[in-house]
Structure 1
Amino acid sequence: MAYKFEIMTQEQAEDIAHNWHYDGEYSFYDIEADEEDLAEFLDPETRGNSMFAVLKEDEIIGFFSVNKVASNIYDIGLGMRPDLTGDGRGLEFLNAGIDFVQSRFTPDNITLSVATFNLRAIKVYRKVGFKDIDTFMQDTYGSTYEFLKMVYEC
């Protein structure tokens, strides 16, 4: 069954923010871990039409954000439900997201940023065809972390 992307509802945002908790170092991705991220994620105006719930067989399995950052360049952010991570589903999920972005927005390039410790995600991104651009430091979750900026040429 195919993935379905729909504008995220307030109920879905609250469920993800308050009930999705990742294990170990991946708890970095818990939305409640950063007050600013939590506030933005829960604010319908901030989410606007750029945050999508991803469903498979009418069950929410992840989320995908899409934001235009330059002429025909779109930046994405994504997350899978914690109980679905780490067992090989990421490649299919990411490919579905790329297909969605390409069909809806027809970008020239898709970019994303990922914490450099997240080798599991970086491996999937590279396998799909994302290329490393640069690293940068960002203040988040009460500390400063290194991130890798990547690009996918459509």
Structure 2
Amino acid sequence: MFMLKCMHCNQAGNNRGVNMYNIIPMHRTAAEEISIWDFGKGYEFYNIEEDPYVIETFLNGHYYIVYKNDEIFGFFCDGESARINETYPEDDDILDVGFALNPHWIGQKMGEQLLNIMFQYYHALYDVHIFRVTVASFNVRGIKLYERMGFYEVNTFYETIDNENIKFIVMCYNQSQD
């Protein structure tokens, strides 16, 4: 188990609270809970709707759950699990990642926190500085988050999913340039 302790302080430096984050490999109970998340109007594409294939995919060893205290805060994945298809090359210097924030926390600027937790986790395991994400072009919330975090567009492509041609944006973030 990987643990992070985050302290939130006000401008005077007083503690407002401590959040404990635990990161563990995805397990069936969490995958089933995540499979009923509803990401809201316009983001139905991301709803899993208890799809057994997706639940099994979550158990492939490349998905990790982030608990905030005792609640699933979000999850993230890496490698092939984070790629939509093979239109962009695998690169040993780049780690493909994907993530989802629990819909309970969406709209509260918590995406940055989840991304930073993910970055810390991978830095503890690998010597990686370049992260790559693939995001549907209609996912304005995600694109804005990635841009705020320093990601930049490197490619676009279209993929047909459920008989719909969807544009995806591939973005990279090079932490060694920070």
Q: TM-score range by the shorter chain?
A: 0.7 to 0.9
What value does the CA root-mean-square deviation take over the aligned residues? Answer: 1.9
| Structure 1 pair 140–32 and aligned structure 2 pair: CA distance change class (3 A) | farther
Map of 1:108-147 to 2, 5 A cutoff? 108-147=129-168
Partner amino acid, structure 2, of 1:76: V
Partner amino acid, structure 2, of 1:43: E
State the alpha-carbon separation in 2 of the partners of residues 127 and 106 from structure 1. 23
**1:13 aligned to 2:31?**
yes
**1:90 Cα deviation (Å)?**
1.1
**1:29 aligned to 2:50?**
no
State the alpha-carbon separation in 1 of the partners of residues 25 and 77 from structure 2. 10
- Contact 1:95/1:128 (<8 A) preserved: no
Partner amino acid, structure 2, of 1:26: Y
**1:13 Cα deviation (Å)?**
0.6
Which ranges of structure 1 fall in alignment gaps of 5 or more residues? none
Could you say which residue in structure 1 is the equivalent of 2:86?
none
Give the number of aligned pairs: 148
CA deviations on 1:125-150 (whole Å, 9 max, x unpaired) are: 11111111011101224311111100
Could you say which residue in structure 1 is the equivalent of 2:5?
none
- TM-score (norm. length: structure 1): 0.86
Q: Of the two, which has the highest radius of gyration?
A: 2
SS of residue matched to 2:39: coil
Could you say which residue in structure 2 is the equivalent of 1:106?
127
Partner amino acid, structure 1, of 2:136: A
- TM-score (norm. length: structure 2): 0.75
State the alpha-carbon separation in 1 of the partners of residues 133 and 123 from structure 2. 15
Percent identity over paired residues: 28
State the alpha-carbon separation in 1 of the partners of residues 95 and 72 from structure 2. 23
Could you say which residue in structure 2 is the equivalent of 1:42?
55
